[in-house]
Amino acid sequence: MIFAPSPFLLKDASVSQVMTQVCVALIPGIIAYAWLVGPAILVQLVIATFAALLAEAFMLKLRGKPLALFLSDGSAIVTAWLIALTFPPLAPWWMVFTGTVFAIVFAKHIYGGLGQNPFNPAMVAFAVCIVSFPAMMSQWPAVGLELRLLDQIDIIFGLAPRVDALSSATPLDAMKTALRMGDSNFDIAQLLANQDIYGNFAGRGWEWVATGYLIGGLWLWHRRIISWQVPVAFIGSLTLLSGALWLYNPAAFANPVFHLFSGGTLLGAFFIATDPVSGCTTPRGKLIFGAGAGLLAYVIRVFGGYPDGVAFAVLLMNLSAPVIDLLTQPAIFGMKDKK
């Protein structure tokens, strides 16, 4: 006789399936990235994946957990890919490597591994690196610059000098710097007309990468891997705030579309703020979490000192997620009118 508890029927679902689908959803964005910005991103993805699996295997061994089971769950790969996608594509290999190892070892396993991390590991890696290596984390390749893949690899591995021309700022950063110059003649409209940096509605090239993330994110929502609350609240609050400021002074503030398709907004809204482990779990909590992250991201990127605010916004909201969850517990069946 055999003994097992009910239910005996189980849906075909697993952690690795969830993680695989997240990776699949990232692919449209990655293709746009490799096509329009540079194939170097593919190299960075490989470096990050390798580093993540290495660190994961090491930590699992240390903690005496079954290697095969946890290595194949795919959670480390999702973290690695998010790190590669948020770091500058021509960042030196050791920076991506260090960031990824830090994320897996300190942000994930020190807290107890899969499912236990209070902060999004990828965003911890981003925050640590931007604080430790601010200059290199702000060097983004000019999109118009044509560079062969081999040359890009040489730069990543430090075999070729890091030419200054390679290192421009992101569209977001360029705009902020320009506005900071204090030249009152500058006008957002004029800035956006600069087709070297800006494309049809946001950063040149980057706008299509963001569109790729949007497509992937919508597919994730369609597959019910993520729920609608976080992305909607994130995008909604960011749109509202940027829209209000843009209407108030279109000369000094960029339009909402620009903000939506710039930097990490869409990647953050669909892939980072939706991380279930470190985010909120109740429906109302998710709305608050998403809205808070969207607002903070806008405030930090427009008024703060960093090129983009998504990472810090998400980390700050991670910090408050348990309290939000505690305060937003939904009423249960039969008790809705009694609370």
Partner 1 sequence: MLNLFKFWGGVKPPSHKTESNNKPISVAPMPSHLVVPLHQSIGGTPKPVVKAGDKVLKGQLIGEADGWISAAVHAPTSGTVREVAMHVRPHPSGLDSLCVVIDPDGRDAWIEHAPFDLASAAPADVFAHLQRSGVVGLGGAGFPAHGKLTPAPNVAMDELIINGAECEPYITCDDLLMRERAAEIVRGTALFRDLLQPKKVLIGIEDNKPEAVAAMQAAVTALGENFTVVAVPTRYPAGGAKQLIRVLTGKEVPGSMRSTAEMGVQVFNVATAYTAWRAVAHGEPVISRIVTLTGNVAEPHNVEVLIGTPMDELLKLARPHPDTDGILMGGPMMGFLVPNRQVPVVKTTNCLIAHSERLFPPKAPEMPCIRCGSCAQVCPHELQPFEMYWYARAKNFGKTQEYNIFDCIECGCCSYVCPSRIPLVQYFRFAKSEIWAREREKKAADEAKARFEFKQFREEREKAEKAEKLARAAAAQAAKKAAEAAAAAAEPAAGEAPAADARTAPAAASAADSEKAAKMATIQAAMERAKAQREAAQPRNTGELTPEQQRDLAEIEARRQAAGISEPPAATQEPKAE
Partner 2 sequence: MDILTAIAIMALGAVVLGAALGYAAIKFKVEGDPLVEKIEAILPQTQCGQCGYPGCKPYAEAIAKGECDINLCPPGGMEGVQRLADLLGREVKPLEAEEKPKQVAIIDENTCIGCTLCIQACPVDAIVGAAKQMHTIIAQQCTGCELCLPPCPVECIHMAAVGETLDNWKWKYPVVGIKAVPLKDAA
- Residues lying near partner 2 in the complex (CB under 8 A): 1, 3-5
Is residue 328 near partner 1 by the rule CB under 8 A?
Answer: no
- Nearer to partner 2 by Cβ, of 3 and 248: the residue is 3
In DSSP terms, which residues pair with 198 in a beta bridge? Answer: 203
Minimum distance of partner 1 from residue 270's CB (angstroms): 15
Pick from 39, 113, 118, 199 the residue near partner 1 by CB under 8 A: 113
Contact 246, 302 (CB under 8 A): no
Bridge partners, 203 (sequence order): 198
Q: Is residue 161 at the binding interface for partner 1, with CB under 8 A as the rule?
A: no
Within residues 64-103, the interface with partner 1 by CB under 8 A covers: 66, 69-70, 73, 75
- Scanning 111-119, 233-241, 261-269, 298-306 for contacts with partner 1 by CB under 8 A, the matching segment is 111-119
Report the residue number, 6 or 249, with the smaller CB distance to partner 1: 6
Which residue's CB is nearer to partner 1, number 98 or number 282? Answer: 282
To partner 2, the closest distance from the beta carbon of 3 in angstroms equals 5
**Cβ 278 vs Cβ 318: under 8 Å:** yes
State the minimum distance, in angstroms, from the CB of residue 6 to partner 2: 11
The DSSP-derived string for 83-135 is HHHHS-TT--HHHHHHHHHHIIIIIIITTTSTTT-SS-HHHHHHHHHHHHSHH
Q: What's the token pair of residue 70?
A: 């946890």
Residue span binding partner 1 (CB under 8 A) among the ranges 5-13, 188-196, 238-246, 305-313: 5-13
How far is CA 9 from each of CA 12, 13, 69, rounded to the nearest angstrom? Answer: 9, 12, 22
Contacts of 117 (CB under 8 A, 6+ apart): 107, 108, 111, 277, 278
**For partner 2, the closer CB: 4 or 135:** 4
The size of the chain, in residues, is 339
C-alpha 291, offset from chain centre: 16
If the CB atoms of residues 1 and 165 are measured against partner 2, the closer one turns out to be 1
Distance of CA 185 to the CA centre of its chain: 34
* Contact pattern for partner 1 over residues 272 through 291, marking x by CB under 8 A: ----xx---xx---------
Residue ranges binding partner 1 (CB under 8 A) = 1-11, 13-15, 17-18, 66, 69-70, 73, 75, 112-116, 224, 227, 276-277, 281-282, 329-336, 338
